[in-house]
């Protein structure tokens, strides 16, 4: 090797210096490659973390939406169950069954032409039946009879009443006020010699014009 260096006119120190320079350049390239790899890895990690955050947020939103839908379905089912048998606690089972069938068979209409015998049932249908009777009922006579009966029953709630359609217990409140007004109405009729079995929309209408 010495003979080769002497032939080329190179000293040992020059060869060592050249070797060191090559080593430095090689090391720099390796460091640059490592930095690029690390930077690329960091970007990928950030992207993955960001995507994970978005996915977690979407999952949370989906759970909240599912819970909201479940609550709304439960509320709607409860109101429908009560509306199909509003007179169950007021009249015999046969009358409650008739009102329930009327609600289910005429969900998009104002119901059959025959008016329910129970004022409380009329009150419940007026306030709780969906869609609202005053929006879909084409029978003006029936609608007028319901409206007159409900307005007459209001007279028997001297302290007034407040109904919030958005409240969870809306149907229960409608039923409670209707029952209270009906009880006072019957009490009034008894005092005027009108028996309960004869109470009808006609008798209520007569009282309105007395």
Listed by start position, the domains of the chain span: 2-56, 85-208
Q: Which two tokens stand for residue 182?
A: 């009906």
pLDDT of residue 176: 94
Euclidean distance between CA atoms 42 and 45, whole angstroms:
5
pLDDT of residue 175: 94
64 has a pLDDT exceeding 90: no
Euclidean distance between CA atoms 99 and 120, whole angstroms:
12
32 has a pLDDT exceeding 90: no
pLDDT of residue 93: 42
pLDDT of residue 11: 66
pLDDT of residue 90: 47
Q: Which two tokens stand for residue 201?
A: 């929309």
> Higher-confidence residue: 59 or 1?
59
pLDDT of residue 104: 47
Euclidean distance between CA atoms 16 and 125, whole angstroms:
104
**Residue 193, phi-psi category: left (phi > 0), alpha (psi -120 to 50), beta (remainder):** left
pLDDT of residue 196: 53
Helices (H) and strands (E) counted in the chain, each on its own, are 8, 0
Euclidean distance between CA atoms 167 and 54, whole angstroms:
34
pLDDT of residue 88: 45
Token pair 């599912």 is at which residue?
66
C-alpha distance from residue 38 to each of 42, 50, 52, 140 (Å): 6, 18, 21, 80
Residue range 68-97, pLDDT digits in tens: 777 777 777 776 665 554 444 444 444 544
pLDDT of residue 30: 81
**Distance between the two ends of the chain, CA-based, in angstroms?**
136
Q: Full-prediction pTM beyond 0.75?
A: no
Is the distance from CB of 153 to CB of 183 less than 8 angstroms? Answer: no
Euclidean distance between CA atoms 180 and 88, whole angstroms:
15
126 has a pLDDT exceeding 70: yes
53 has a pLDDT exceeding 50: yes
Residue range 133-190, pLDDT digits in tens: 777 887 888 888 888 889 988 999 989 999 998 999 999 999 999 999 999 988 888 8
Residue range 97-125, pLDDT digits in tens: 444 455 444 444 455 445 556 899 989 98
């Amino acid at each position: 090797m010495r003979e080769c260096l002497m032939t080329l006119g190179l000293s040992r120190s020059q060869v060592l210096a050249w070797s060191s320079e090559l080593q430095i350049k090689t090391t720099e390239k390796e460091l640059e490659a490592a930095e690029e790899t690390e930077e690329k890895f960091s970007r990928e990690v950030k992207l993955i973390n960001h995507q994970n955050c978005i996915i977690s947020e979407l999952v949370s939103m989906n759970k909240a939406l599912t819970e909201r839908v479940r609550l709304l379905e439960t509320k709607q089912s409860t109101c429908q169950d009560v509306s199909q048998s509003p007179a169950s606690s007021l009249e015999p089972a046969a009358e409650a069954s008739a009102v329930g069938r009327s609600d289910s068979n005429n969900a998009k209409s104002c119901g059959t032409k025959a008016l329910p015998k129970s004022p409380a049932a009329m009150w419940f249908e007026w306030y709780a039946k969906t869609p609202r009777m005053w929006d879909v009922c084409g029978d003006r006579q029936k609608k007028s009879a319901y409206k007159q009966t409900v307005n007459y029953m209001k007279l028997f709630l001297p302290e007034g009443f407040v109904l919030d359609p958005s409240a969870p217990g809306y149907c229960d409140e409608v039923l409670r006020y209707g029952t209270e007004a009906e009880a006072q109405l019957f009490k009034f009729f008894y005092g005027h010699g009108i028996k309960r079995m004869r109470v009808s929309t006609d008798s209520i209408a007569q009282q309105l014009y007395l």
